């Protein structure tokens, strides 16, 4: 692709600087979550319905992480985000509608051998990002490119509402919903700072605008 740093995959060197925690994980391509953000999910596969039931009975936590490729089970990226079930609707047929609230990013230490149908890992929770504000030039560049991108894709956007968003919500919200490919989404998740993520979003939107195809995602 030519933009951003290569995302990390399970098996890369891991520095354990804090206690590990056990997480049930939901590997979902193209879906990322950030701390302090929300992610709606519809859960219908039996193994993930079992995961939700288990989470509700324990600590309400689910680890969102992207698979790197196909396979059964697929290999995983190293970095994900823990979400706490903030809202849940249990449907009559066993499915769930959830809203996850991002708690903290995590780095996978190792995958556990478990009897459950859903996968579980040991992971280290990462510190929250300290920078939550862009400078005026960064904000202006992001908003301008977002408008061009939305116009090109014929997206209807409430720009007055966008103007009222704080920088962190704007950047991470775009990163979560933008129709980029999984590797690009992972690079956004792993960006070292809010400023780096905003810059990468601008690069990806520019790249997407030049290489648009019929699939609706950047490949």
Q: CA triplet 192, 195, 201: central angle to 5 degrees?
A: 90
On whether the CB atoms of residues 39 and 30 are closer than 8 A, the answer is no
Residue 9 Cα distances to 1, 6, 40, 169, 199, angstroms: 17, 9, 25, 26, 23
Fold category of 20-125 in CATH: 2.30.130
The predicted pLDDT at position 75 comes to 96
Q: What confidence category does residue 6 fall into, taking pLDDT thresholds of 50, 70 and 90?
A: low
**What pLDDT digit, counting tens, does each position of 28-39 carry?**
999 999 999 999
pLDDT at 218 over 50: no
- Tell me the C-alpha distance between 52 and 158, whole Å: 33
79 three-state secondary structure: strand
Which one, of 142, 90, 107, 94, lies nearest residue 10 by Cα? 107
Say which CATH topology domain 136-210 has.
Methane Monooxygenase Hydroxylase; Chain G, domain 1 (1.20.58)
What's the pLDDT at 69?
Answer: 86
Per-residue pLDDT tens over the stretch 146-173: 999 999 888 899 999 999 999 999 999 9
Domain residue spans of the chain: 20-125, 136-210
């Amino acid at each position: 692709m030519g933009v951003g740093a290569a995302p990390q995959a399970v098996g890369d060197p891991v520095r354990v600087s804090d206690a590990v925690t056990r997480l049930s994980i939901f590997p979902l391509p193209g879906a990322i979550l950030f701390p302090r953000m929300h992610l709606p999910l519809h859960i219908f596969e039996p193994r993930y319905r079992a995961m939700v039931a288990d989470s509700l009975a324990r600590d309400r936590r689910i680890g969102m992480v992207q698979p790197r490729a196909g396979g059964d089970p697929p290999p995983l990226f190293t970095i994900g985000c823990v979400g706490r079930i903030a809202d849940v609707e249990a449907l009559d047929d066993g499915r769930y509608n959830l809203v996850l609230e991002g708690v903290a990013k995590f780095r996978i230490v190792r995958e556990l051998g478990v009897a459950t149908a859903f996968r579980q890992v040991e992971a280290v929770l990462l510190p929250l990002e300290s920078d939550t504000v862009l400078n005026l030039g960064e904000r202006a560049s992001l908003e301008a490119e977002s408008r061009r991108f939305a116009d090109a894709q014929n997206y209807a956007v409430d720009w007055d509402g966008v103007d009222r968003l704080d920088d962190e919500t704007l950047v991470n919200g775009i990163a979560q919903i933008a129709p980029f490919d999984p590797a690009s989404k992972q690079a956004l998740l792993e960006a070292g700072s809010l400023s780096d993520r905003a810059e990468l979003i601008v690069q990806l939107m520019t790249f997407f605008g030049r290489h648009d195809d019929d699939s609706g995602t950047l490949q």
